């Protein structure tokens, strides 16, 4: 049963309108999508106010039917071959030190959009040298060949979210597979151990604390380096309901356990999202 009233710790503060308008106008002029908008992220105002955003490539329509996600489902859009250059232009215009790129899942494409990811990475390298790059990728339906295209482009961080505990996959991620997601992270490390891997999980979907810790252990079992844990917030009444609002103290306990298990960087809190303050991992880890 959904809990209607949000607790006080989930209130979002107002942020700079000036910065927000600048980012909105730039994205509109460059015809770019962000996961900030499409996923109805609660941190959108803060991030736009700081003149940062997480770019979402390969259109704004997803081929999967996850019940937690606000991204549109339906008829997918044609791949825009000029998008990599525009993303790179936006990264330079915003003066980003760390760029985060994600996408909708494109099961309709032969490589799931992996080559497009590689082209975006290459364009950023050419246009804004010195920027560290993090990509949040889909599972490419388990294709090792597709994944290698992204690995060979050598972003500093490859992120793939497991999203929830395996026992909730049928309800929350019916077209995904928990072991396949773990294998994505495992395969990245096997292909190039110098690339940092990252994953994220939502809580409040009906999981137990023991199940969350079990997921942490599974992620460390495939040498995942970074972890994010955040509160699930249902985008609408048609989405999977919020079963529980997790107290900040529990998020702190999860963070402490994750560090105990060996994660190099952990972001755990009610409003944490996969790419929220992603540059903090860079501050903690020295890239060679």
pLDDT at 110: 96
What is the band of 186 on the pLDDT scale with cuts at 50, 70, 90? very high
**Which residue bears the tokens 């190099």?**
264
pLDDT at 45: 47
Q: Give the contacts of 82 (CB within 8 A, at least 6 positions apart).
A: none
Rg of the Cα atoms in the chain: 18
Q: What tens digit of pLDDT does each residue of 54-73 get?
A: 788 998 888 887 766 767 77
Give domain status of residue 57, yes or no: yes
Give domain status of residue 25, yes or no: yes
Is pLDDT at 17 greater than 70 in this prediction? no
Give domain status of residue 7, yes or no: no
Give domain status of residue 143, yes or no: yes
Boundaries of domain holding 31 = 12-284
pLDDT at 96: 86
Is pLDDT at 177 greater than 80 in this prediction? yes
**Which residue bears the tokens 């994953």?**
199
CA distance 55 to 136: 10
Query: What is the CATH classification number for the domain harbouring 106?
Result: 3.20.20.70
Q: Which of 72-76, 156-160, 231-235, 249-253 has the lowest mean pLDDT?
A: 72-76
Burial class (CB in 10 A: 0-12, 13-18, 19+), 78: exposed
Q: What is the 3-state secondary structure (H, E, C) of 130-190?
A: CCEEEEECCCHHHCHHHHHHHHHCCCCEEECCCECCHHHHHHHCCCCCHHHHHHHHHHHHH
pLDDT at 39: 43
pLDDT at 34: 64
- The structural domain count of the chain equals 1
244-250 average pLDDT score: 95
Give domain status of residue 167, yes or no: yes
pLDDT at 60: 83
- Per cent of the chain over pLDDT 90 is 59
Q: What tens digit of pLDDT does each residue of 107-153 get?
A: 999 999 999 999 999 999 999 999 999 999 999 999 999 999 999 99
163-171 average pLDDT score: 94
Give domain status of residue 5, yes or no: no
What is the band of 38 on the pLDDT scale with cuts at 50, 70, 90? very low
Give domain status of residue 200, yes or no: yes
Give domain status of residue 125, yes or no: yes
Q: Which of 63-77, 183-197, 211-225 has the lowest mean pLDDT?
A: 63-77
Number of H helices, E strands in the chain: 11, 10
């Amino acid at each position: 049963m959904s809990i209607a009233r949000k607790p006080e710790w989930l209130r979002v503060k107002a942020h700079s309108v000036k910065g927000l308008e600048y980012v909105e106008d730039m994205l509109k002029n460059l015809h770019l999508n962000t996961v900030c908008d499409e996923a109805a992220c609660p941190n959108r105002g803060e991030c736009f106010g700081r003149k940062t955003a997480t770019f979402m490539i390969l259109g704004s329509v997803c081929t999967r039917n996850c019940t937690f996600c606000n991204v549109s489902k339906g008829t997918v859009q044609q791949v825009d071959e000029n998008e990599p250059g525009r993303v790179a232009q936006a990264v330079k215009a915003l003066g980003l030190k760390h760029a985060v790129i994600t996408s909708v899942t494109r099961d309709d494409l032969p490589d799931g959009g992996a080559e497009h990811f590689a082209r975006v990475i290459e364009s950023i390298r050419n246009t804004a040298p010195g920027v560290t790059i993090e990509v949040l990728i889909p599972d490419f339906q388990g294709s090792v060949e597709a994944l290698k295209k992204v690995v060979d482009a050598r972003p500093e961080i490859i992120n793939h979210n497991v999203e929830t505990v395996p026992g909730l996959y049928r309800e929350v991620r019916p077209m995904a597979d928990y072991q396949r997601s773990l294998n994505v992270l495992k395969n990245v490390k096997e292909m190039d151990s110098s690339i940092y891997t990252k994953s994220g999980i939502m809580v409040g979907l009906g999981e137990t604390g023991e199940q969350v810790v079990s997921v942490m252990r599974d992620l460390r079992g495939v040498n995942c380096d970074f972890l994010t844990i955040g509160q699930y917030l249902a985008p609408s009444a048609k989405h999977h309901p919020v079963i529980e609002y997790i107290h900040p103290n529990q998020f702190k306990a999860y963070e402490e356990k994750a560090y105990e298990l060996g994660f190099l960087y952990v972001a755990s809190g009610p409003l944490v999202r996969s790419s929220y303050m992603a540059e903090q991992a860079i501050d903690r880890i020295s890239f060679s």
